[in-house]
Amino acid sequence: MQPAAVEVRNVSKAFGAAQVLHDVSLSIPTGVSRGLVGRNGAGKSTLVSILTGLLTPNSGKVIFNNVEAPAQRTSREWRNKVACVYQRSTLVPTMSVAENLFANAYPGNPTWVNWSRLRAAAREICEEWELGVSVDTRASDLRVEQRQLVEIARALAKGARFIIFDEPTAALESKEVARLFERIRRLKREGVTLLYISHHLQEIYDICDSVTVLRDGCVIVPGADVADLPKEKIVEAMVGEQIARSSRRPPMLPAASTPALSVKHLSLAPMFHDVSFDIAPGEQVGLAGLGGSGKEQIAEAIAGLLTAGSGDILVGGVRLRPGHVPTAQLKGVSYVPRDRRRRGILPQLSVAENLTVSIQRTFGRFGWIAPRRLEASARQLFSALSIVASSMRQPVVELSGGNQQKVVIGRALASSPQVLVLVYPTQGVDVAAKEAIFDIIAAAQARGAAALIVSDELDELRNCQRVLVVFKGAIVKSFGADSSERDLIAAIEGVDA
């Protein structure tokens, strides 16, 4: 029998008091593509770090093709055995595609760079993988999709036969996802072993042969054929209990004469033009569209982060000052950005301060902050959102992704806003946190807040009473709650159904 391409034997890892991996063992036969799923904090990232040699386990070992992984974890040998495509780029942004492809291992003479040889070798790889970019393009100018391809090609050029994909589709559009899957299937045909991590279970069924489920640092399912493991079973293994998936009913509120949010003929060239819509108090409306359709920019204009070229935004009938975040907040608009790491959390500040940063003006006169009032206000949100942290004083950067997202959403709710603008509010969080976030939004709606969900994930749009579809900067269609998913997707993609 052929040896397993990679085998993890009894690996345990603890960070201080926190045991992150308990006696984890798994083995992936050569040429198999294995899915790895688990909730946030299940230990996936730690396992990946151990597999790629970034972390040393406290006990246990990693074996590649019957050979124990080298002890020297930074060695080139290790890098040549396994490669990882992360959500975030691992290319050197200021260097060309050619240089990135052969980073630190230039063809020919190892000391001096032979530029013409380097570029020729790179061009060959680019053609083979149909990268469609010049080898002289700087990595920072690549699209996410191209960047990932360069990373895959680089791994293969180094001779890696085992590639880890860590949520590669998080920043891709559906067409790009399809193309990525096409390439992943080609890798499989060529006998490359894959470990594929994703929050989207459907993707696991699309491209994986088998699946491993982690929960709380333990292997729950060591490796089962995807055919034998329906979605509910996977979710059950991830969560440990059956979670009811329900779509929520909108709250019954008396009809209001003034819309909570009214957007009138809003334009900002070249991103969006003549956008108009109203949202009633208590209503939840989706704003769907492809990446680059302008939906996120419309949301930013409402939040005051972008200044629209023309048009008006009214909250409760009052016109907002364009491009000014503090007045938008004062008038009752709260915004939850998509990229919580880059735009959401204030990493070194405590959970309490992160929750209350937008309402500090209410904690005292002349800008002074009464610590007790801050604490009281934060505690209320902290428990209402069931944020998991050692204390409210813990720096927010130390929380898990799902809890960070709850903090960012909690901040948006702190001011009891009339309008909640949420951009991909559940992206990258686990199933349970997702449900909790939907509950939080529903509670705000019941209070009379209008919610605008900016997303193209049907799962995030499922509670909306209406979904507006943005295509190339304009609202092209509106769907009621009862319309078919297929029509909605067709409109998002811009194909006539």
Residues lying near other proteins in the complex (CB under 8 A): 15-16, 18, 20, 41, 45-46, 49, 54-55, 303, 305, 325-326, 328-329, 335, 337, 342-349, 353, 357-358, 360-361, 367-371, 397-398, 400-401, 411
Alpha carbon 333 to its chain centroid, in Å, reads 24
| Least spacing, CB of residue 271 vs other proteins, in Å | 18
- For other proteins, the closer of residues 163 and 303 by Cβ is 303
Q: Which CB atom, from 243 or from 346, has the smaller least distance to other proteins?
A: 346
Q: Considering the complex, state which of residue 62 and residue 131 has its C-beta at the smaller distance from other proteins.
A: 62
Nearer to other proteins, 213 or 328 (CB): 328
Helix (H) or strand (E) holding 124: helix 115-128
Task: Phi first, then psi: give them for residue 103, nearest 5 degrees.
Answer: -45, 120
The per-residue b/e assignment along 283-298, b for 16 or more CB within 10 angstroms, e otherwise, is bbbbbbbbeebbbbbb
Q: In angstroms, give the least distance from the CB of 247 to other proteins.
A: 29
Q: Please identify, using beta-carbon distances, which residue of 37 and 149 lies nearer to other proteins.
A: 37
Collapsed DSSP state (helix, strand, coil) of residue 115: helix
Residue (of 345, 478, 328) closest to 409 by Cα position: 345
Cβ neighbours of residue 394 under 8 Å, at least 6 residues apart?
350, 351
What whole-number distance in Å separates Cα of residue 65 and Cα of residue 57? 19
CB of 159 to other proteins, least distance (A): 26
* Closest distance of CB 200 from other proteins, Å: 19
Q: How far is the CB of 269 from other proteins (least distance, A)?
A: 23
In the complex with other proteins, the residue whose CB is nearer, 40 or 212, is: 40
Closer of 35 and 41 to other proteins (Cβ): 41
Q: How far is the CB of 432 from other proteins (least distance, A)?
A: 17
**Measured from the CB of residue 43, what is the shortest distance to other proteins in angstroms?**
10
Put residue 314 in one of left, alpha, beta given phi > 0 → left and psi -120 to 50 → alpha.
Answer: beta
Whichever of 54 and 446 has its CB closer to other proteins, that residue is 54
Closest approach of other proteins to the CB of residue 415, in Å = 9
Smallest distance, other proteins to C-beta of residue 179, A: 29
* Closer residue to other proteins in complex, CB, 358/426: 358
Q: What is the separation of C-alpha 81 from the centre of its chain, rounded to a whole number of angstroms?
A: 27
Q: Which is nearer to other proteins, 60 or 250 (CB)?
A: 60
Q: Which is nearer to other proteins, 105 or 388 (CB)?
A: 388
For tokens 């005292």, name the residue. 364
- Smallest distance, other proteins to C-beta of residue 93, A: 17
CA 232 – CA 217 distance, rounded (Å): 21
CB 296 within 8 A of CB 348: no
Reduced 3-state DSSP string for 453-495: EECCCHHHHCCCCEEEEEECCEEEEEEECCCCHHHHHHHHHCC
DSSP line for 227-240: GG--HHHHHHHHHS
Q: Is 223 helix (H, G, I), strand (E, B) or coil?
A: strand
Give the contacts of 249 (CB within 8 A, at least 6 positions apart): none
Distance CA 50, CA 47 (A): 5
Report CA-CA distances (Å) from 309 to 123, 267, 452.
Answer: 43, 6, 21
Min separation Cβ 155 and other proteins, Å: 20
- Between CA 383 and CA 109 the distance in angstroms is 62
Spatial strand order of the sheet with 284-288 comes to 333-336, 419-423, 450-454, 284-288, 466-471, 474-480
